[in-house]
Chain A
Amino acid sequence: AGGSVGSVVRRFLAEYGSGTPSRLKLLDAYLLYVLLTGALQFGYCLGVGTFPFNSFLSGFISAVGSFILGVCLRIQINPQNKGEFQGISPERAFADFLFANTILHLVVINFVG
């Protein structure tokens, strides 16, 4: 069982490395970064305490929100999904991504205190 999991993971990594355009890989790196940031924040909150709670929420929501927007961008610019997003060019998707992030971080900064 351990072996099959290991071989699946290795297979996945190989496929990923070869089959994914570098643009998407950059995005994936960004998503990983955001994920780690959010997880660290959550771990700190569990370990040390929730004071000040609003700051924790603000930071955590920033991480979660950014992750979600990043995922949306990735879906939209993935060439394999071109059929689904006829009217939305990658540039348009990127512009939407920037706009949504601006609003998200406006609220986050408001809340962080």
Chain B
Amino acid sequence: SAGPRLRLAAALNLLLLLAGAQAPAPSHRLTARDLARLRAALERPFADLQAAFYSIVGLDSLGARVADEKAACNFIKSHVDSSSVDSLFYAAQSIRVLSGCEVTVSNETRELLLAAVSEDSSVTQIFHAVGALNGFGLPLASQEALSALTARLSKEENVLATIQALETASYLSQQADLSGIVEEIEDLVARLDDLGGVYLQFEEGIETTALFVAAAYKLSDHVGTEPAMKEDQIIQLMNAIFSKKNFETLSEAFSVACAAGSLSRNRYHLPVVIVPDGPAAVSHHQPVLKAMTDVMSQPLTQASVKLDYAKSASSKATVLQQTAFALSGDIFELNFMNVKPASGYYDFSISVDGDKRFIANKVELKVKVSTEVGITNVDLSTVDKDQSIAPKTTRVAYPAKAKGSFTADSHQNFALSFQLIDANSGAELIPHQTFVRLHNQKTGQEVVFVAEPDSKNVYKFELDTSERKTEFDSASGTYTLYLIIGDATLENPILWNVADVVIKFPEEDAPSTVQSKNLFVPKPEIQHLFREPEKRPPTVVSNTFTALILSPLLLLLILWIKIGANISNFSFAPSTIVFHLGHAAMLGLMYVYWTQLNMFQTLKYLAILGGVTFLAGNRMLAQKAVKR
């Protein structure tokens, strides 16, 4: 195979990558593994007639067949219950799919089914009856069925009933005016919930959403009208339905299978999947990206896949445009390396045409072009600080190691310069990682520096012992110098032991022991300093003062006696006694407040005592005033 190529696979069903400018990004699809899981979920042994129906019709939607059709037919014949409309529906629709399976229908059964198509039955009953009649090939008056359905639907306004009405209408003759039912599609679309702009689903769940998609396309194909769903709505519906990878119930698996089948086989909308085969990267060594074809459906070999443009992600310059992909087997290929792109990331815009049913057929991919790096013009030199001696330069070629060692100390610096080029094209490269690593052989210390390119894209690194002694902890010794080159677009990252460098730091700075910067040893303990209690005077002092403070009281008593406090007029009137007692109680309350109570309790007692004392005092003073 000539040269590196970019291979893409275009296939049906769901999307992986960014679609056009405004449509939401399709994020979910049925991969081969998902399809296998879905098939396995449907291929379970039949538990009952309803399970048989789900399996048979579900597998048919995926384009597969039941393993043993004869056994399935016998199962249906033995399990059908002629008195139940539901049972008849499952049987009828299953035998429609199985080849060579016939069930005879008696007249009573037919009458039962026709009677069920009336306004008095639920929508589900009408749906099953009409479906059964259709499956058995029995005649049915479509107009009456339609009017019964419409009448019943106006009473049962929920989502599931409406979906079942859509399915029912797809069994009725096109002579009947089905436009009323077709309009329900639009109403249902309006009831979908938009989740974050990515998913669109009913609040009833994914099963309901999947059943809706299947029913909408079935009816639209039947009447010949395009369903009223916009492209981004369809993509969002797909995201929601195919986000479900594990199926807890058979009915869930059935609904997803029906939706997948309808989205790949209807007359109006065909969602397109464009997937890079393997990682979206090209290089000189790995020319072919393995394409992953979507297994569920056939690849769209009738389509034409075209590269609209390929732009460099960083410079936005168009590298290639309007080139067609070539079909090779199942896979569409484009030889991108023919235009000799520089390494880096590119934005590809790809469109698929050929069928006007295609939707989401414009995709943007990010493609990485990788290359190999080469190191050239590697010069190691010792530069004298005083500029008195000319620098000694040694050239080294990758991957050899420089012979001899270089010294950097207080009067000479060590310098390294090199250039990086693209090994295939010879152009200069600026990778993300250009590191110079110095590793102390004895202590295990390592220090890493970044080498910077100058204006001419020549990388330079200089080691000045006086500037860098903190990084090295002033540990003198022999260091091995490594050059590390790396980038996402490089296929050959480099770790190259270039030389040995002896670094001598001035003696006075050398640490006594080299401490390994081990982060995980216990740190020195922090002694918590509790709050020091306030300095208090010795008890003697405060006791003395307490005694001292009582002395003015003594003085007061003496003075009062001396002045001649007249207590002879003390009348023992009740109000006087009450007053004095109350007042004393208030003073006592103050003491109790100090020792025990809080403000609220005190106020309570004070109110009582104060009230009493006030009244008594009032009386007492009034009497005093009168006496005066």
Residues of A within 8 A of B (CB): 22, 25-26, 29-30, 32-34, 36-37, 40-41, 44, 48-49, 51-52, 89, 91-92, 94-95, 98, 102, 105-106, 109-110, 112
Contacts and interface: CB of A to CB of B under 8 A. Distances in A.
22 contacts: A22-B566, A29-B559, A30-B556, A32-B552, A32-B555, A33-B552, A33-B553, A33-B559, A34-B552, A36-B551, A36-B552, A37-B553, A40-B552, A91-B621, A95-B614, A102-B586, A105-B590, A106-B590, A106-B593, A106-B602, A106-B606, A109-B594
A51 B618 contact: no
Given A40-B552, A41-B549, A109-B594, A49 B537 contact: yes
Given A32-B552, A98-B617, 9 more contacts: A33-B552, A33-B559, A40-B549, A48-B545, A49-B537, A51-B534, A51-B535, A52-B534, A91-B625
B105 interface: no
B594 A26 contact: no
B563 interface: yes
A29 B610 CA distance: 27
Contacts of A98: 583, 617
B367 to A, nearest CB: 78
A32 B558 CA distance: 12
Contacts of B614: 95
A109 B617 CA distance: 24
B427 interface: no
A102 B563 contact: no
B519 interface: no
Contacts of B551: 36
A110 B599 contact: yes
B624 interface: yes
B536 interface: yes
A43 B190 CA distance: 88
A37 B549 contact: yes
B139 interface: no
Given A40-B548, A106-B590, A26 B565 contact: yes
Contact of B555 (A26, A33, A51): A33
B390 interface: no
Interface residues of B, number: 36
Contacts of B624: 91
Contacts of A102: 586, 606, 610
A98 B563 CA distance: 22
Interface of B is mostly: helix
Contacts, number: 71
A32 to B, nearest CB: 7
B549 A94 contact: no
A105 B606 CA distance: 12
B560 A29 contact: yes
Given A91-B621, A102-B586, A105-B590, A26 B563 contact: yes
Given A49-B535, A95-B617, A98-B583, A29 B625 contact: no
B522 interface: no
Contacts of A52: 534
Contacts of A112: 594
B625 A89 contact: yes
B400 interface: no
Interface string B585-612: 0100010011000010010001000100
Contacts of A48: 537, 541-542, 545
A21 to B, nearest CB: 10
Given A25-B563, A109-B593, A36 B555 contact: yes
Contacts of B610: 102
A-B CB proximity, top 7 nearest = A91-B621, A33-B556, A29-B559, A36-B552, A48-B537, A51-B534, A25-B563
B622 interface: yes
B256 to A, nearest CB: 77
A65 to B, nearest CB: 14
Interface in B528-573: 534-537, 541-542, 545, 548-549, 551-553, 555-556, 559-560, 563-566
